[in-house]
Structure 1
């Protein structure tokens, strides 16, 4: 199936993603990432911020398209840029709530410092990572704990491309977030 930049049908996008996901995502990436990078850089973000935001937006678009919950009123690229803009706006608000002197130079340290100690929360995140399964555990630990590049993670886990490893990382991370949210929602309803 040929993927067109002027594609307006969610069903056609879904078919293109299912037929050749890598080709469809690559085409979307090439068409829309420059606009996302420009937007993020104009609004105080780095190239790395733009990549993170774009990958999150791409995962959201993919999940909605494949899950048949996507209703397109514009081209997929336009929809993707819109998702990325909203994600960046949320990220800016989150950063604005943090004290400026608390922001480390390394964004990876930000997550580690912002998270309370396991004793304070009543659970250990690694317990939840263990429950995700061997593949997810391998990907998440390699990326976040050992800080391995995605090329190395893709190769070690048998993914055909870096993009596949990126999508898998985000899916695993979302599963981890959902598991942790479920615990917090049950804790808050108990009180």
Structure 2
């Protein structure tokens, strides 16, 4: 694809093969950029697909002038789209868990005729510490996306929040297992 005319002709006559070739050459660059800037591989795919659509629409237009390589142009579009997405995500209301939320959880799990177990689990969650409690309640009870949790709890990335969620959950499981084993041994 030496010239823009050749590229335009390839896109018009054999669009799928041409876009596949461009995708294979350029997507790894976009994925690396998005992941280095707080995104995931699926985020990179979404951004790159949007960038390909923008590129295709411009490339088949007669007035389009390409002043760089296709990969450089697509990476530029992808960077702009990713920056816009990060900005949009930061503007989402970051709900932090306050005492009010914790109280709601406790009230909903208040002991009824046979709900001692649910209250006991909340007791174990309380023992994990504020950070773990906030993370687990946000994810499992309030069903907040990890992006939002990572932002509101000041984790460096979504991956960090995911790892911490796993660690907190493992600590909770160990606590519950220990009590169950103790109860079985002493009953």
Give CA-to-partner distance per residue, 1:76-108, whole Å, 9 cap, x none.
11101110011001111111111223893289x
Change (3 A) 1:69 1:89: farther
Partner residue, 1:85? 79
Q: What is the number of equivalent residue pairs in this alignment?
A: 101
Alpha-carbon separation, structure 2, partners of 1:104 and 1:28 = 36
Alpha-carbon separation, structure 2, partners of 1:66 and 1:106 = 39
Matched, 1:76 2:116: no
Matched, 1:51 2:45: yes
Matched, 1:31 2:71: no
Alpha-carbon separation, structure 2, partners of 1:93 and 1:105 = 16
What SS class does the counterpart of residue 80 from structure 1 fall into? helix
TM normalised by structure 2 equals 0.50
| Residue pairs, 1:1-191, within 5 angstroms | 4=1, 7=2, 9-101=3-95, 104-105=144-145
Alpha-carbon separation, structure 1, partners of 2:44 and 2:54 = 15
Change (3 A) 1:105 1:55: same
What are structure 2's unaligned runs of at least 5 residues? 97-142, 148-187
- CA offset at residue 10 of structure 1? 2.4
Give CA-to-partner distance per residue, 1:56-91, whole Å, 9 cap, x none.
000000000112232111111110111001100111
TM normalised by structure 1 equals 0.49
- CA offset at residue 19 of structure 1? 1.4
Alpha-carbon separation, structure 2, partners of 1:70 and 1:84 = 18
What are structure 1's unaligned runs of at least 5 residues? 108-191
Alpha-carbon separation, structure 2, partners of 1:75 and 1:94 = 29
Partner residue, 1:141? none
Partner residue, 2:115? none
